[in-house]
Structure formats: structure tokens, C-alpha cells
Amino acid sequence: MRAAVETRPAYDVRKVREDFPILSTRVHGKPLVYLDNAATSQKPRAVIDAMRSYYETLNSNIHRGVHHLSELATRAFEAARLKAARFLNAADPKEIVFVRGATEAINLVAQSFGAGWKAGDEVLVTHLEHHSNIVPWQILRDTRGIVLRVAPIDDRGEVVLEEFERLLSPRTKLVSVAHVSNALGTVNPVQRMIKLARGAGAAVLLDGAQAVPHLPVDVRALDCDFYAFSGHKLYGPTGIGVLYGKAALLEKMPPWQGGGDMILSVSFEKTVYNRIPHKFEAGTPHIEGVIGLAPALDYVTGLGLAAIAAHEHDLLVYATAALSEIQGLRIYGTARDKAGVLSFTLEGVHPHDIGTILDQEGLAIRTGHHCAQPVMERYGIAATARASFGLYNTRPEVDALVAGLRRVREVFA
């Protein structure tokens, strides 16, 4: 991880909130309390303005045009790539592939990096993965006969590292793990896991969808081969995300989608593919998404990810203590290293009922399996209620959550 150099003023959450227009919304007559940040985050004005301004002043297709607007749009698009590279501390912007989100990034790696895998080759994941880091490997299992191995988690929701190590083998082609769990909040000891994977000669993909909004990430310090994230969980637009890949690997990987922009020349006899990263970006990309992602990266970098992490950690500790006082409430995910996610059940109340009653109080939380059904199965439950914190949440909002949950208790008394 990159060492944080904190020269900024103290974290002023009141001021931060002013940057997010939607936070002044009222829901059922109550102030919105938005605690569904792990599903998607709200957008600061800078992101909204950048996307609006793109359409008002720059809109045109990129890379192919010689006209003024196309050149401006291309420059803005590639400047965002450079920004994303700096954000992850990648060695070169060509290691940044723009994709739809973490899901598409993982599918790209499965289809392209996994193109040469044979029956019996192995991919190692953990029991706490999001479905998007399970199903792409199952598709390869069904079509190609690869083996999917799963490292177990303990009751706290931490990966059992001895088992993880034991499941590595000379056939392990890739270790693909969440940096942070969306269902439990567990921050995986990825540095250690990468070392173990390297020892077995396996490549490593980190699913950073839940990590980048909450922790500083340095792909070179981590020495992972691939890193995936979604813009919309990072206060940026939907439909845009990043796959970081080491240049040496991306160069060798075959394209996974064909079309415009990913080629240098095409004839019916022979097509020459474009250089990386364009080789992986077939067709007109989500230009306004990329242009909106740049100010989102600036925004979190400006606040400082170490400061954001400290703020959210304070909320997590405060909320964990307060929720633990509620009779019949059980928290799932008590890892020692944890991001701002609180998954819980309330005895005798279906999680969907919790969500519906809280909604009446203006509180937005998530209920269900959180696209992590194996996690639910691990604890013998079908669903949880989940509050997840973002950089604009406050202790009074946690108090509102606790008051809402007491109200749920009364309704089901």
C-alpha cells in the first residue's frame, strides 16, 4: 500500500456532503440517509458537471476523427486513462483497459488470459467472492474443464490462509480474490495471498470493486497481475470501470471482442490487432463515463483515501457498538481488518421487512444475498440486511439507523 502523506485539513464531512446534490433529497418526507454505498455510491457535483459539460462542449467519437471536437474528446479520454493509471500507481497508462465495470474486467481476464487453459488447470477463489468472481470461472469449467478451487472462510469471515495455501498447486493458473468483501466487509490479506500465489507460480487477479472507494491501492507495491474495479462504487458513473493488467501479460493475451478501434488493419485474409490497451477496447467506448470517472478519481484523491478510510472506520466502530446493543441483532462478518460494511439479521424479522420499514424512515440499506450466495450459505442464512458506509456518511446517520432498527423491533414485538 502507498504510504499516505497527510497534509490536508481535518476531514470535514459537513463540507463533503455539500458536494453531493442528492444528499439533500427527502424520502417519504424524511431526510435521505443513504447507507447502500456498497451497491453504488452517490456522485459529487464535479462528476455530474463533467458529464454534462462533455455533451455540451465535446461530444464526438474518439481516436478516429481528425476534427477539432474529436481531438478534444480523445485527449480528455486519454487524460482520464493517465489519471486512472496514477490512481492505481500503474507503471504505464497502457496497462489501464476501460471496461463496463468489475464484472466485465473479470470476464475479460477469464476469456482472454484463460484462453489457453486446458482441462485440469485450476483457478483458486475464496468463499467470500461476489458472483462476478465465481461465474466467469464456472463458465470455463463447463466449457473447458478447468477446476475451480475455493478457499474456505472462518466464522469471522476471514479466509483460512493455511487452507488457501494448501489449495495452491502447480496447476493453479490464477488466484482471483476480492480485495474487500461486499457481503462481510472483510479486507483480505492480499499482500500475503499474492506472495503465496507467486510461490506456486500462479498469476493474481484482485477484485477491487469494494476496495478502491475505501483504501489506497498501489498495484505495483501489491505486485498483482490484474486489478478490477467499477467507477460507480467510487463516486463515478455507472457503466465504466477499469481493468489494470501488467503490460507484459496484456501484450501476450488475445483480444476478447472484435470490432472497430481494436485493430490496426483489416482485410478478409488478415487482421492486425491494435496495441494495448486498445486491443481490448473494441467499438465506441463509454466516452462520457470515462470523462466522468476522472473527476471521481480526483475527488477521492483530493480528500485522501487514508482520511476517507479513517472516517469510515470511525463510523464502522460506532455503528458496530450501537447495533450490538439491539436485542436479537446478529452481525455477520467480524474480521479483524474490515471496511465499512455491516451485514446483520434481526431475530424473527425477514431482512426485506427490515429494509422496507427503514425505507419509510428515509433510510436506504440493502437486503438480500448481495450477489454472494455462497457467503449466505456458509452462515446457513438466505439473506442479510446490509448498511454500507461512504465518505459522506455521519454518526447522526448511524443514530438514525439505530432508531429505525428499534422501530422495526417495535413493529415485530
User: What residues make contact with ligand PLP under the rule CB under 6 A?
Assistant: 101-103, 130, 132-133, 178, 182, 207, 209-210, 230, 232, 371
Is 293 within 8 Å of 240 (Cβ atoms)? yes
Q: Is 371 a catalytic residue?
A: yes
Burial of 107 from C-beta contacts in 10 A (0-12 / 13-18 / 19+): buried
CA 312, CA 394: separation in Å to the nearest integer? 9
207 strand-pairing partners = 178, 228
CB of 37 to ligand PLP, least distance (A): 10
Tell me whether residue 139 is exposed, middle or buried, using C-beta atoms within 10 angstroms of its C-beta: 0 to 12, 13 to 18, 19 or more. Answer: middle
Asked whether the beta carbons of 151 and 164 are under 8 A apart, the reply is yes
Taken as a whole, the chain contains a residue count of 413
Question: Least distance from C-beta 216 to ligand PLP, angstroms?
Answer: 18
Shortest distance, position 394 Cβ to ligand PLP, whole Å? 23
- For residue 229, the SS3 value is strand
> Residue 103 or residue 126: which is nearer to ligand PLP going by CB?
103
Catalytically annotated residue among 27, 69, 364, 371: 371
CB 336 within 8 A of CB 323: no
DSSP class of residue 153?
Answer: B
Tell me whether residue 74 or residue 182 sits nearer to ligand PLP (CB atom). Answer: 182
- Which grid cell is 129? 467472492
Closest CB to ligand PLP among 40 and 60? Answer: 40
Q: Which is nearer to ligand PLP, 257 or 394 (CB)?
A: 257
Select 341 or 400, whichever has its Cβ closest to ligand PLP. 341
Give me the least distance between CB of 399 and ligand PLP, in Å please.
26
Least distance CB 324 / ligand PLP (angstroms): 24
Residues annotated catalytic, as ranges: 371
